[in-house]
Amino acid sequence: MSILITQGDLEQIWCFSLQEADIALKWKYNSRDKYFRTMAGVCYGMLGNNLPPPNEAVDLFQRNNIRRIRLYAPNDAVIQALKGTNIELMLDVPNNELQRIASDNLTAAYDWVYYYIVNNRADVKFKYIVVGNEVSMNDWRYVLPAMKNIYSAVQSAGLQDQIKVSTAIYSANLSDSYPPSRSVFRGDLLQYLQPIVGFLVEKRAPLFCNLYPYISYLENPRDIRLDYALFTAPSVLVWDGQYGYQNLFDALLDCVYAALEKVGGSSVEVVVSESGWPNAGDFASTTENAQTYLNKLIQHVKGGTPRRPGRPIETYIFAMFDENAKTGPERERHFGLFTPYKQPKYNINFY
C-alpha cells in the first residue's frame, strides 16, 4: 500500500523532532490500516467452573488488542464489564430461547432486546445478534420467525442500521461441497435457509458460519493434507475452475458463498463466527498445530478468498479460555487461547 503524505501533513509535523515525525507518519498509516489489522475477534465461552470473573476477562481482551467478542448468551456481568471499552459485541439468542422468541406475541422478543440491548446501548458497542447457533433440525422452524421478531424490536429502537440480525450455520448444513463451486445447502434445510437468505438480502445483513478446517482434517486425514489445513501449503493444492485454493479455510468459506449464490444470496457477506484449533484431545491437537493455525488465521483474514478476493473476512476465534464444563470429546475442553488462570497458551498477535 502506498501512503500519500500531503502538504498539510508536512505542515502539521514540521515542528516535530525527526523521531516525533516518524511516529506521526506511522500513526497516519496505522489509522488507515486499522480495519485490516483487527478483523479477528474471539468467542467468549463461559462453560467452566474455574474461569476468571468477567471484569478480568474484559481486561484481558483489552490488554491483548481483542476488539471484537462473541457472547453465546446474555450475561449481565459481562455486559456491565464491557461498558466504555468500545469492544464490539456479537450477542447470541440461545437455541433454547428460539421457540419463545418466535412466538406470534412479540413481547418476548421486545423484552429481550430492550433489556439487554436498548438499556445498555449508550455504553456497549453491540454489532450483531445471532438468533440460534448450529440449530437442530427440530428448531429450524423457529429461526426465521425469531429473527424477524428480534429485528422488529431492534428497528423499533432505531438500531437497525447499527445492529444486524442473523443466524449461525456450520459446514454440515452444506452438501456436495467438493469442489467449492458445487456446494449447495442441504435439501432438507432449503425450505428454511432460502427464506432466511432472502431476509438477509433484504436487511443487508451477513450470514454467520462456524468453519473448522481442523474438523475437516480430523475426519479425513487420508485425503486432506495437514499443511493445507494449517495455511502452510507452499502452493495451490486444489483447483476449482479459475479458483485456486492454497488452504482449506478459503475452500470451506467459498463453499458457503457458492451455496448462497444458488439461492439468490450473492450480495450476502459471510462472517466466520467460529474457527479454532485445540491443543489436546486427539492426534491433530498439538500446541504447535494450534499456534500455527491461529496465527496464520489472524493474518489471513485481512485479505479475501479466491471467490471473494481483496475483502477482509471478519472472523471470531474459538475460544478465549479452555472450558472444563464443555461436554463431548476431550478436545472440546482445549480450544482456549488462554488457560482459566489467564495464562496465554500460545504466542498470538492480534495486531
Backbone dihedral angles phi then psi of residue 19, each to the nearest 5 degrees: -65, -45
Q: Is 88 a catalytic residue?
A: no
Nearest CA among 99, 208, 93, 191 for reference residue 145: 99
Interatomic CA distance for residues 12 and 8, integer angstroms: 6
Interatomic CA distance for residues 132 and 143, integer angstroms: 7
For residue 280, give every residue at least 6 positions away whose Cβ sits within 8 Å of its Cβ, in sequence order, or none: 286, 330, 331, 334
Interatomic CA distance for residues 37 and 31, integer angstroms: 10
Q: Angle formed by the axes of helices 190-203 and 140-156, to 10°?
A: 20
Q: Of these residues, 97, 134, 314, 323, which one is catalytic?
A: 134
Q: Is 134 a catalytic residue?
A: yes
List residues bridging with 70 in a β-sheet. Answer: 43, 90
Q: What angle do CA 183, 267, 156 make, to 5 degrees?
A: 120
Q: Of these residues, 88, 97, 269, 274, which one is catalytic?
A: 274
The residues that are catalytic are 134, 274
